[in-house]
Amino acid sequence: MLREIKLVSLTLATVLFIQGCATAPPRMNPLPGELADQAEVPGIPGVRTWADETPPHMEQWLNTSEEVVRAYFAGIMDREHNYLAVSGGGANGAFGAGLLNGWSEAGTRPEFTLVTGISTGGLIAPFAFLGPEYDQKLKEIYTSYSTNDLVRRRNLLDIVRNDALADTTPLREKIAEYVDEEMMRAIAAEATKGRMLLIGTTNLDAARPVMWNISQIAEFGTPQALELIRDVMLASASIPGAFPPVSFEVEVNGKRYEELHVDGGMTSQVFLYPLGLDWRHVEEKLNVQGRPNLYVIRNAHLAPDWETVERRLGPILGRTVESLIRTQGIGDLLRLYLGSVRDGIKFHLASIPDDFEDASMEPFDREYMNALFERGRSMAVKGYPWVTDPYGLEAASDRWQPAN
């Protein structure tokens, strides 16, 4: 995370230095704000929604008959539910990848009804969704590559002419290598059971979080759908300024427009579902057995560390951004926790332990990621000590029950 933060601070410093000189590629017919709620991906409609409001179709779904619900969600009805939310964190995603591998080794990892991912969590989420069969690929992604394998650094002239410090073409190629047609078909097969995979991005123009229903996209089964899945994963991990935004072609009333999306972590470090959604009603509709479990993997340290900051622009910006990201993450975790208490969901939190003090020497330091992967794996093999009440509010849970 520290290297990711320093990358952001370097971006800010560079922007301040070259502001007014940039000649980046122009926008191609950007979407007007008044059409934002109507825009759809051509040929793949209805696969995304704002993550900060309850989707209108969910309200309609809650009022449908049991027969209709059972026709589409038979595979997740009348059974226990387990949910997984994987946060951002850059190279620290190695912790979550290791934890999932070790969890499989321990033989206690459940099948997740719903999986969500943001930023590096958006890269992990599809593999976590498909289960232990994909653990080896997940391990390979987070232990085999370094910065030069994933991004191309630009010189100052290229930075001035473009929209980011680095070119993520290598990362795009790696995503395409791992997320192939076979994987898309596997996701689609799970989607037919009612299981759901969501990845978050940030719509840069709207400055709002977007949830992409990857499981639903996979059901389209077309080459265009596969490219869309890859683009969403890349966008979710594209730190603005450091990495280029991802362009999405959208359509309103037959006219094509462009949207720009960046790292989902710019608007949320971790998410599950909009808190305005009546999840207890969802549970009733699906006849969920017992209380659902929510497992949250926060790919970061929760406690702040002490660092003597030099009185220079880069270190000051870096420490400021680090503080903002850490406190944003804590706020997102608190919202998730309060939502889970309100909705009768058992909350479980994992994060990088405070005594893991290895330092990363570059944005994607292979040695560092291997050490962090192994730490997450070994903790899970022994039985991960999930934190169930991080804010000491379990005793107050009655306050969050729906009023009669």
Residue 202: CA count within 13 A, CB half-sphere: 20
pLDDT at 192: 95
pLDDT at 396: 46
pLDDT at 18: 47
pLDDT at 321: 80
Rounded to an integer, what is the distance from CA 258 to the centroid of its chain?
22
The terminus-to-terminus CA distance of the chain in angstroms comes to 45
Interval 63-83 mean pLDDT: 90
Contact in structure between 303 and 343 (CB atoms under 8 Å): no
Give residue-wise pLDDT tens across range 192-243: 999 999 999 999 999 999 999 999 999 999 999 999 999 999 999 998 888 9
pLDDT at 156: 74
Residue 382 CA: distances (Å) to CA of 21, 99, 285, 356: 55, 11, 36, 17
Interval 3-9 mean pLDDT: 47
Give one DSSP letter per residue of 34-99, joined into a string. GGTTT-BBTTBTT-EEETTS--HHHHHHTTS-HHHHHHHHGGGSSS--EEEEE---GGGHHHHHHH
Contacts of 243 (CB under 8 A, 6+ apart): 151, 164, 165, 166, 168, 171, 237, 262, 263
Q: Is the pLDDT of residue 20 over 60?
A: no
d(CA 345, CA 298): 18
pLDDT at 2: 45
Neighbours of 119 (CB within 10 A): 32
Interval 125-151 mean pLDDT: 97
pTM above 0.95, yes or no: no
> Token pair for residue 81?
């539910």
User: Three-state DSSP class for 195?
Assistant: coil
pLDDT at 5: 43
Q: If you average pLDDT over every residue of the chain, what do you get?
A: 89
Interval 133-141 mean pLDDT: 98
> Token pair for residue 242?
């450091």
pLDDT at 27: 80
Q: Is the pLDDT of residue 182 over 80?
A: yes
Confidence label for 23 from pLDDT (cuts 50, 70 and 90) = low
Q: Which has more pLDDT, 151 or 17?
A: 151
pLDDT at 9: 44
Contact in structure between 147 and 139 (CB atoms under 8 Å): no
Q: Which has more pLDDT, 403 or 389?
A: 389
Give residue-wise pLDDT tens across range 344-402: 999 999 999 999 989 888 889 999 999 999 999 999 999 999 999 877 655 444 444 54
Q: Is the pLDDT of residue 22 over 70?
A: no
Give residue-wise pLDDT tens across range 297-320: 999 998 888 889 999 887 888 788
Give residue-wise pLDDT tens across range 77-136: 999 999 999 999 999 999 999 999 999 999 999 999 999 999 999 999 999 999 999 999
> Residue 291 has what DSSP assignment?
-
pLDDT at 24: 59
Contacts of 282 (CB under 8 A, 6+ apart): 62
